[in-house]
Structure 1
Amino acid sequence: MKHGIAAALAALTLAACGSGQPPAGSPPHHTADGYQNLYPFHQPGLGDILRWRWEEWTGPEVVQRPERIPRVQPDLAWLATNRSTASYTWLGHASGLLQLGGQNVLIDPIFSERVSPVQWLGPRRYLPVPATLAQLPRIDTVLISHNHFDHLDRDSIDALLAQPGGQPQFVVPLGIDAWLRDRGATRVNALDWWQSADLGGLQYTATPAQHWSKRSLSDTNETLWAGWAVKGQGKTVWYSGDTGYQQALFTDIGRRLGTIDLALLPVGAYLPRWFMASQHVDPLQSVQMFRDVKARQAVGIHWGVFALASEAVDAPLDDLPAARRQLGVSEQAFRLLPLGGTLRLP
């Protein structure tokens, strides 16, 4: 992949330095200057980034074939009136609209052209958004997993703050609340791992993830990262957030949450493994994660739109089926939705 400077901006979202030791009596993932993972974690430094970039610049060109990725027009009329059917609509990358308990929940919204500190440079969309924010039903709650630019997008947040009918409720990991309030958000719930908030008839619970945070050159791990469990309408939907693979972590999450009706699991941005393994699962690990938490079904996300790693944006179309075959999981159990597609839960 020869992205040049644009790829270097993507690398800023994927590497950092470590944190201090936690103060006495604090949770183990708290540190003197922020947060850390529950399990050993390698956070790549500048040398790792330069090695990754050198391998890309000197290696074979990655052929991007976004035309392979299935796309459908979202059923906007149905989404606008739906208040009874639990559903998930994939809006690209990690963004999705969850409809549960009569609420419209938007997850890690990215409607911008690029995932970058600026919109004139950085990783650019290979596929357009399937629906604009104005075309979606009014959003009740916004879930944010962490502060990387491909999950927390300034322009998308500003548009949500200005939506007709008033601001949505934001549910975020610790520390991101300050960023939101600086932008004018007034309805913010910031949660630590395993804390919950009951809003609009739904329960939101932050779950641990094996990842990190960074939005500038000087704020490494100052805000928390998380996955999210949303419970309501007799169902549990779990979004893992970005995460490396840790079996003990996922089996514990599955045990604590109980029956997970739908898991939203990342299947993209995973190569090269020597660089990405600590922070992003690959498709095989994602299918294993699905088995670890014992979810009833899963949808693969975090792929298909932005080239943030060394595999092609369409690679999960081949690598996820191979992973399912290897682990004996059916396509019905762990699927890829077309961009704009909706899964209605029974």
Structure 2
Amino acid sequence: MRIKLLSLLILFIVLTVVMSVPTTSSSSSNREQKGQGEDDEGSFAKPVKNGKTFANPPSFKNWGGLPGLSDVYRFKFKETDRENVPTDKRLLDVEIPVHSIKASDFHSESDLFATWLGHATVLVNLEGVNFITDPVWAERASFTSLVGPKRYRPPPMKIKDLPDLDFAVVSHDHYDHLDAEAVKKITDLNPQIKWFVPMGMKSWMENAGIGVDGCSSVTELSWGESAEFEKDGKKFQVWCLPAQHWGQRGPFDRNRRLWSGWAVIGAKRRFYYSGDTGNCDSEFKKFGDKLGPFDLAAIPIGAYEPRFFMKSQHINPEEAIEVHKLIRAKNSIGIHWGTYHMGSYEYYLEPRDKLKELMDSREDLKNTSFVTIEMGRIWEAPDDA
């Protein structure tokens, strides 16, 4: 009975949220916004700004808007949930191993190495600089500990065991990508850390107690903008890049904060993180042409079924491979799977297995150039990267 009530509560919240949103951001009112979204050919797209909210631009041809009420009904009552995550921890330990690590384990002779800490959290060392993407450690990716996506694989590293962090990038404000408690703990342990966030998120960081000293520790950027980060005389460019998604943390703040991907450009090495995104393929090609080739990319491969519901906001493994190719990534790792019960209906191992199957069948790509790695294992740039 308790499970049924919780399910109904979750459905009520979903319905309440969906009812407050238009079904597409390509409406006539959005198209009337001059100078936004449709820039000169070859330049990065700009988000549409409607008063206090952001929207995907009309140039994102694959953006069909967020699901409507009929879609929610079909999703919850007509589709089959194939996720089937085992409750037996021993089986999960075999299928999705988690290797505990500490700061002392995060080292390499390579000038580019990384480890997957679960979901969309990736710890990277690029030319001597440590940074992290979307740091999330929460047991539930939710506003409450009672309902919402629950973690079924633990992080391989505790926050207190992280190496010293130079900066972090945050892609958007959804709870599975922005963990308030983790942000606070990381900042307390790393007073020197710089946070790079999309437009509209600086005020959230301030409310969380980050950057209150004149906001020197928080840099807010829009699509196509970059900031410089310097350490020990080395300079890095941090780029905020377009992504096809949306944002929300509460019932009344839909799209008040922008969503994005990120690129980190060093003297020799280049890293790309897509954040959550649908297939805005024309933009991915621009990333590759203007900022690539990338030595490493972190690209989501999970939370994509059913397609009629997820397609606009989450790419699937096949689309992820196209992103890998369009951005000219020499190497990519698949993320955004195998960590939380995200509410999507694909079998829990399908993202990993489908990626491998598809890569093995590609004649135009080296099958080891886009892989998944076990949590806590260190990925090192190969000699030919």
Q: TM-score, normalised by structure 2?
A: 0.82
1:311 is aligned, of 339, 343, 346, to 346
Matches within 5 A, 1:129-208: 129-163=155-189, 165-186=190-211, 187-200=217-230, 201-208=235-242
Which consecutive residues of structure 1, in runs of 5 or more, have no partner in the other structure?
A: none
2:163 corresponds to 1:127: no
In structure 1, how many angstroms separate the alpha carbons of the residues matched to 2:127 and 2:68? 44
Q: Deviations over 1:187-220 (max 9, x none)?
A: 1000011100111332100111111111111222
The residue that corresponds to 2:100 in the other structure is 73
Assess if the C-alpha contact under 8 Å between 1:287 and 1:327 holds in 2: no
In structure 2, how many angstroms separate the alpha carbons of the residues matched to 1:14 and 1:332? 41
Structure 1 residue 120: Cα displacement = 2.8
Identity %: 33
2:7 corresponds to 1:4: yes
**What code does the residue aligned with 1:97 have?**
L
The residue that corresponds to 2:56 in the other structure is 37
Give SS of 2:287's match. Answer: helix
In structure 1, how many angstroms separate the alpha carbons of the residues matched to 2:274 and 2:16? 18
2:372 corresponds to 1:336: yes
Structure 1 residue 4: Cα displacement = 2.6
**What code does the residue aligned with 2:69 have?**
L
In structure 2, how many angstroms separate the alpha carbons of the residues matched to 1:285 and 1:6? 33
Structure 1 residue 85: Cα displacement = 2.9
Q: Deviations over 1:115-160 (max 9, x none)?
A: 0011232211111110011011122211100111100111111212
In structure 2, how many angstroms separate the alpha carbons of the residues matched to 1:333 and 1:44? 34
**Does the C-alpha gap of structure 1 residues 179 and 75 become closer, same or farther in structure 2, counting only changes over 3 Å?**
closer
2:139 corresponds to 1:113: yes
**Does the C-alpha gap of structure 1 residues 338 and 156 become closer, same or farther in structure 2, counting only changes over 3 Å?**
same
**What code does the residue aligned with 1:136 have?**
L
Assess if the C-alpha contact under 8 Å between 2:102 and 2:161 holds in 1: no
2:96 corresponds to 1:96: no
In structure 2, how many angstroms separate the alpha carbons of the residues matched to 1:233 and 1:140? 17
Assess if the C-alpha contact under 8 Å between 2:335 and 2:372 holds in 1: yes
**Aligned Cα root-mean-square deviation (Å):** 2.5
Which consecutive residues of structure 2, in runs of 5 or more, have no partner in the other structure?
A: 39-46, 87-91, 212-216
2:72 is aligned, of 36, 41, 49, to 49
Assess if the C-alpha contact under 8 Å between 1:269 and 1:307 holds in 2: no
Q: How many residues align?
A: 341
Structure 1 residue 60: Cα displacement = 5.8
Assess if the C-alpha contact under 8 Å between 1:82 and 1:102 holds in 2: no
In structure 1, how many angstroms separate the alpha carbons of the residues matched to 2:237 and 2:255? 26
Assess if the C-alpha contact under 8 Å between 2:295 and 2:331 holds in 1: yes
**What code does the residue aligned with 1:218 have?**
F
The residue that corresponds to 1:64 in the other structure is 85
**Does the C-alpha gap of structure 1 residues 304 and 12 become closer, same or farther in structure 2, counting only changes over 3 Å?**
farther
In structure 2, how many angstroms separate the alpha carbons of the residues matched to 1:207 and 1:84? 27
Assess if the C-alpha contact under 8 Å between 2:81 and 2:346 holds in 1: no
The residue that corresponds to 1:302 in the other structure is 336
Assess if the C-alpha contact under 8 Å between 2:104 and 2:163 holds in 1: no
